[in-house]
Amino acid sequence: MRCLLAATIGLTMSLAGVAEAGQAFDVIRARGTIVCGVNQGVAGFSTPDSRGDYRGLDADFCRALAAAVFGDPAKVRFVPTSSQNRFTMLQSGEIDVLARNATQTLQRDTALGLNMAGVNFYDGQGFMVRRSLNITSARQLDGATVCIQPGTTSELNIADYFRANSMRFTPVLIERPDEFVGAYNSGRCDAMTQDASQLASYRATAVQNPNDHILLPERISKEPLGPMVRHGDDQWFDVVKWVLTGMIEAEELGITQANVDQRLRDPNPVVQRLLGVTPGFGRALGLDERWLFNAIKAVGNYGESFERNLGSGSAIGLPRGQNDLWTRGGLMYALPLR
CB-based contact 196:157 (threshold 8 Å): no
Task: Give percent of the chain with pLDDT exceeding 90.
Answer: 80
- Dihedral over Cα of 219, 220, 221, 227: its sign: negative
Return d(Cα 328, Cα 320) in angstroms, integer.
10
Model confidence at 192, pLDDT cuts 50, 70, 90, reads very high
Strand partners for 146: 171, 191
Strands 34-39, 97-98: pairing is parallel
Q: Which of 251, 287, 242 shows the shortest CA–CA distance to 271?
A: 251
**Inter-residue contact 207 to 265 (CB < 8 Å):** no
Percent of the chain with pLDDT over 70: 93
- Angle made by CA atoms 219, 308, 151, in degrees to the nearest 5: 40
Weakest mean pLDDT among 40-44, 235-239, 264-268: 40-44
Residues in the chain: 338
Q: Which residues of 271-305 are buried (b: 16+ CB within 10 A; e: fewer)?
A: bbbbbbbeeebbeebbbbbbbbbbbbbbbbbbbbb
Task: Please give the full DSSP string across 124-166, using - where no structure is assigned.
Answer: -EEEEEEGGG---SGGG-TTEEEEE-TTSHHHHHHHHHHHHTT
Between residues 215 and 151, the one the model is more confident about: 215
Burial bucket for residue 147 (CB in 10 Å: 0-12, 13-18, 19+): buried
Specify the pLDDT at position 22.
Answer: 59
Domains of the chain, first to last: 17-120+232-328 (3.40.190.10), 125-221 (3.40.190.10)
Q: What is the pLDDT of residues 269-289, one digit of tens each?
A: 999 999 999 999 999 999 999
CA distance 221 to 77: 32
Q: Would strands 144-148 and 191-195 be described as parallel, antiparallel, or unpaired?
A: parallel
Instruction: Compute the half-sphere exposure of residue 67: CA atoms within 13 Å on the CB side of its CA.
Output: 22
Over residues 30-50, the pLDDT tens digits come to 999 999 999 988 889 999 988
In the chain the beta strands, taken as DSSP E runs, fall at 34-39, 47-48, 54-55, 76-81, 97-98, 114-116, 121-123, 125-130, 144-148, 169-173, 191-195, 213-215, 223-225, 228-230
Q: pTM, whole model, 2 decimals?
A: 0.86
Does residue 68 have a pLDDT over 80?
A: yes
Instruction: State the pLDDT at residue 6.
Output: 37
Per DSSP, what are the bridge partners of residue 116?
A: 228
| 175 contacts 150 by C-beta, under 8 angstroms | yes
